[in-house]
């Protein structure tokens, strides 16, 4: 028996991330989608699933993450059985990759600076999947900040400092004071920053000028826009859909349902990781997990219980029930679909297990959660 690679999700066996994809399905027609992910869901897997779905509908898809994560995302996508991924972050993109991306044959991957920066080299995709946890005001501010330096713009720098008044540098200018000056600053800086190199950034920053963060330094003044500037960028506003993936903390687990993996043997630790990936597979069995852990059924069952404090079936049920609670709270899919999404073929079996674990029916839990 060949062991399953730890990085390879069980696509044919319905990975846990499919439940996030199913929460996305009812929102396919929305322009902006905030998609919360449980902590154990891999955002790269979810992006691949959404990309495959969108490309099947003839749309180009771009997965946008922080610049330092591009290589990691490409490596993860390379071992997933989803769509081909092409690196469109470097700037000198091969024509073959661009064609494959824009014809909906490959999932594009780019960092924020390449896709949203002042000189984007890629036409806006139909669907943009954003790593929202890494996209914040600091990132947008860094991409579109305007710096008035004493060395390069001495006259303008002097006039700007006179307008700001007596401020000890370095210092963040008080927002109300900056807001009162924004219109005059705009008139002063527009002739300077509408040159070829700065026009793209300045024209998009201007509408947000009163809301900018301004740092007065010893030799410069730095004006950084708020994160909502993102919505004015071509790569964002020209997309048919923007999907923001955001990992949310899991609800407090029942005591002991999440074993301390640091104390587990390598085989049992691998089995726990495997189960967290494949627990939604209705064909998941103790025999199969014992095989991928290279252990006999009896030895695996005894070792799993001794090391985790849980029987195999109880551990799997805990994972499924926690996922079911999340779906009941955060999605509008039917209870039958919830049961299938977490690995139960029979609704009656799911209902029985849910009531046994939480002392209420799934429909009562959903009603209590306000769905």
Whether 281 is covered by a domain: the verdict is yes
Whether 170 is covered by a domain: the verdict is yes
CATH number of the domain residue 330 falls in: 1.10.10.60
Strand pairing class (85-87; 61-65): unpaired
CA distances from 172 to 112, 121, 167, 178, 180 (A): 26, 34, 9, 10, 15
Rounded Cα gap, residues 96 and 306, in angstroms: 54
Rounded Cα gap, residues 18 and 25, in angstroms: 11
Q: Which tokens is 96 given?
A: 């073959």
Whether 348 is covered by a domain: the verdict is yes
CATH number of the domain residue 38 falls in: 3.40.50.300
Whether 254 is covered by a domain: the verdict is no
* Domain encompassing residue 296: 261-368
DSSP per residue, 250-284: PPPPPTTSS--GGGS-HHHHHHHHHHHHHTT-TT-
> 69 with 114, same domain?
yes
What sign results for the dihedral spanned by CA atoms 60, 61, 64, 67? negative
State which H helix or E strand residue 222 sits in. Answer: strand 220-224
Chain centroid to Cα 366, Å, comes to 26
> 119 with 239, same domain?
yes
**Domain termination residue (choose one: 181, 215, 248):** 248
Written as tens digits, the pLDDT of the chain (371 aa) is 233 334 444 444 456 678 788 888 888 889 999 888 877 788 999 999 999 999 999 999 999 998 889 999 999 899 888 889 999 987 777 888 888 888 889 999 999 888 887 766 678 899 999 988 877 767 777 788 888 899 988 999 999 999 988 877 788 888 898 999 999 999 999 888 876 567 777 888 889 999 999 998 888 999 988 888 888 888 888 999 999 998 876 554 444 455 555 678 888 888 888 888 888 899 999 999 998 888 899 999 999 998 888 999 999 999 999 889 888 888 888 999 999 999 999 999 999 999 888 888 898 888 776 65
Query: What are the residues whose beta carbons fall under 8 Å from the beta carbon of 87, sequence distance 6 or more?
Result: 70, 74, 93, 97, 109
Rounded Cα gap, residues 186 and 274, in angstroms: 57
Whether 1 is covered by a domain: the verdict is no
> 243 with 152, same domain?
no
Q: How many domains does the chain have?
A: 3
Query: What would you report as the CA-atom Rg of the chain, rounded to the nearest whole angstrom?
Result: 26
> 204 with 151, same domain?
yes
Query: What are the residues whose beta carbons fall under 8 Å from the beta carbon of 14, sequence distance 6 or more?
Result: 278, 280, 281, 282, 343
């Amino acid at each position: 028996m060949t062991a399953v690679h730890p990085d390879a999700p069980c696509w044919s066996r319905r990975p846990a991330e499919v439940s996030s994809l199913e929460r996305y399905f009812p929102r396919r027609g929305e322009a902006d989608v905030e998609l919360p992910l449980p902590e154990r869901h891999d955002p790269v897997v979810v992006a691949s699933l959404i990309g495959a779905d969108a490309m099947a509908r003839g749309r180009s898809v771009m997965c946008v993450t922080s610049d330092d994560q591009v290589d990691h995302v490409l490596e993860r996508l390379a071992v997933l059985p989803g769509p081909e991924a092409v690196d469109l972050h470097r700037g000198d993109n091969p024509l073959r990759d661009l064609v494959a991306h824009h014809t909906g044959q490959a999932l594009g991957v780019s960092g924020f600076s390449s896709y949203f920066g002042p000189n984007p080299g890629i036409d806006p995709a139909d669907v943009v999947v954003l790593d929202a946890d890494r996209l914040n005001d600091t990132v947008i501010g860094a991409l579109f900040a305007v710096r008035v330096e004493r060395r390069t713009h001495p006259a303008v720098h002097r006039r700007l400092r006179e307008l700001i008044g007596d401020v000890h540098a370095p210092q963040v200018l008080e927002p109300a004071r900056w807001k009162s000056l924004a219109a005059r600053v705009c008139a002063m800086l527009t002739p300077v920053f509408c040159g070829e190199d700065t026009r793209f950034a300045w024209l998009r920053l201007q509408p947000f000028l009163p809301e900018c963060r301004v740092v007065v330094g010893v030799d410069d003044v730095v004006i950084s826009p708020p994160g909502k500037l993102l919505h004015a960028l071509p790569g964002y506003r020209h997309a048919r859909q923007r999907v923001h993936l955001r990992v949310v903390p899991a609800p407090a687990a029942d005591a002991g349902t999440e074993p301390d993996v640091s104390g587990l043997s390598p085989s049992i630790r691998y089995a726990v990781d495997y189960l967290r990936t494949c627990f939604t597979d209705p064909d998941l069995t103790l025999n199969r997990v014992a095989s991928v852990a290279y252990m006999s059924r009896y030895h695996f069952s005894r070792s799993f219980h001794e090391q985790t404090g849980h029987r195999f079936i109880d551990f799997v049920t805990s994972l499924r029930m926690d996922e079911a609670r999340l779906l009941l709270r955060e999605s509008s899919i039917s209870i039958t679909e919830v049961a299938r999404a977490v690995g139960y073929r029979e609704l009656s079996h799911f209902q029985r297990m849910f009531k046994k674990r939480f002392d209420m029916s799934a429909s009562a839990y959903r009603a209590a959660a306000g769905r």
